[in-house]
Amino acid sequence: MNAESTRTFLIPEWAEQSAVFLAWPYDEGDFTPWLPAVEKTYFHIAVEVARRERLIVACRSEDHRQSIERGLIERGADIGQIRFVVMPYNDVWVRDTAPLSVQTEAGPRMLDFRFNGWGGKYEHADDAAIARRLHESGALGITTLKAVDFVLEGGSVETDGAGSVMTTTRCLLNPNRNPDCSKDQIEAQLEARLGADQILWLEHGHAEGDDTDAHIDTLARFCSPDTIAYTACDQPDDPLYPEFTRMAAQLATFRNASGQPYRLVPLPIPAPIRSEEGDRLPATYANFLIINEAVLVPIYNDPADRVALERLATCFPDHEIIAIDCLPLIRQYGSLHCMTMQFPSSICVA
């Protein structure tokens, strides 16, 4: 079934956008040890987004806002395209705390799902209020925001825009999310809230160091209604090899709502990147962000960067492929897609 004919559907990322939202890192946060490098990455992302659409930036205080604005002006950003919103927040991973955008018969709507700190792992009181506070700020115009009493993070679901929603069993069936819901009940929520005709459950694949319980946006991403780019491993001596091999095999069995297989594009993984404690960090190229006329792709100063950029260029022939150094971001177990949320053109931002 085509998305246009469903009553409600999750708007795919490649749809025309009005804005991208991000929350700026701050010096009392988790990124403190690497803040200059992290801000350099944020400035690069902000400049590229503001060239093509509106950018909404959450900041912690007026002083914080002024500092960010000065840095953006110094780097030639189009300040007229940027809206600042002062609000409290715990983490910068707004993919999981900002509202999701759906189209309904009555027009666009934003959904504010419950956020519980990725299964109670982290303090999250302010993050759980981000969607509501952002809406109250007026930055998203007059589009209705609906609270949903169901735990769901934006990074845990992908849509092909044509009736299929892809997610992982490791995350959505984890008892730390919705422990009182069966698989059938979770599917019913996704069908009702996101307009899914079918749920594609990915049972394999997990980026070592990932503390989201295998978010789909680190593993497999829809690039269009018929194409999935996915994290692959071709090194048999890598501990990730068995799981990613099984994941690739399962992806090959997936069919769209019309019964057709997807075109599959493997993305390599970089050589292991480790924390100061020696733990492997969850660096994947699948954590890219689609914006108007461009795709921002995380890179990690690795030879695999070039291969990933070339393969994603085949997935997005009408988009400019822009490499973003995300080595600083991965220090806190996330990357480019995790720290951004897009809003479609049907949501008129202020």
Angle at 17 between CA 67 and CA 56, to 5 degrees: 20
Cα torsion 122, 128, 133, 139: sign: positive
Average pLDDT of the segment spanning 242-266: 97
pLDDT given for residue 337 in this prediction: 98
pLDDT of 2 above 90: no
Tell me the two tokens of residue 5.
Answer: 């004919």
- Residue 115 near residue 341 (C-beta atoms within 8 A): no
pLDDT of 36 above 60: yes
Tell me the two tokens of residue 66.
Answer: 């002024």
96 residue type, one letter: D
List the strands of the sheet with 54-59, edge to edge. 82-86, 54-59, 17-23, 341-344
Burial category of 33 from C-beta neighbours within 10 Å (exposed 0-12, middle 13-18, buried 19 and up)? exposed
pLDDT given for residue 208 in this prediction: 85
pLDDT given for residue 207 in this prediction: 86
**Number of domains within the chain:** 1
186, part of any domain: yes
350, part of any domain: no
Listed residue (346, 345, 308) closest to 326, CA to CA: 308
pLDDT of 267 above 90: yes
pLDDT tens readout for residues 290-315:
999 999 999 999 999 999 999 999 99
Average pLDDT of the segment spanning 103-111: 94
Helices of type H across 137-239: 169-172, 183-194
- The domain of 75 spans 3-344
User: Phi/psi at 119 (nearest 5 deg)?
Assistant: 85, 30
**Backbone dihedral region for residue 302 (phi beyond 0: left; psi -120 to 50: alpha; all else: beta):** beta
pLDDT given for residue 19 in this prediction: 98
Confidence class of residue 4 from pLDDT cuts 50, 70 and 90? very low
- Report the distance separating Cα 168 and Cα 74, nearest Å: 42
Average pLDDT of the segment spanning 84-100: 97
Per-residue CA distances from 1 to 103, 106, 256 (Å): 15, 19, 9
pLDDT of 1 above 80: no
- Report the distance separating Cα 142 and Cα 348, nearest Å: 8
pLDDT of 7 above 80: no
pLDDT tens readout for residues 222-236:
999 999 999 999 999
27, part of any domain: yes
pLDDT tens readout for residues 162-205:
999 999 999 999 999 999 999 999 999 999 999 999 999 999 99
Share of the chain above pLDDT 90, in %: 92
Tell me the two tokens of residue 105.
Answer: 């018969």
- Report the distance separating Cα 288 and Cα 285, nearest Å: 6
272 residue type, one letter: P
Cα torsion 95, 216, 173, 212: sign: negative
Confidence class of residue 160 from pLDDT cuts 50, 70 and 90? very high
- Residue 163 near residue 3 (C-beta atoms within 8 A): yes
Share of the chain above pLDDT 70, in %: 98
61, part of any domain: yes
DSSP 38: H
pLDDT of 132 above 90: yes
What does the mean pLDDT of the chain come to?
Answer: 95
Q: Which residue has the tokens 């509501």?
A: 132
- Report the distance separating Cα 167 and Cα 146, nearest Å: 22
CATH, residue 118:
3.75.10.10
User: Phi/psi at 136 (nearest 5 deg)?
Assistant: -65, -25
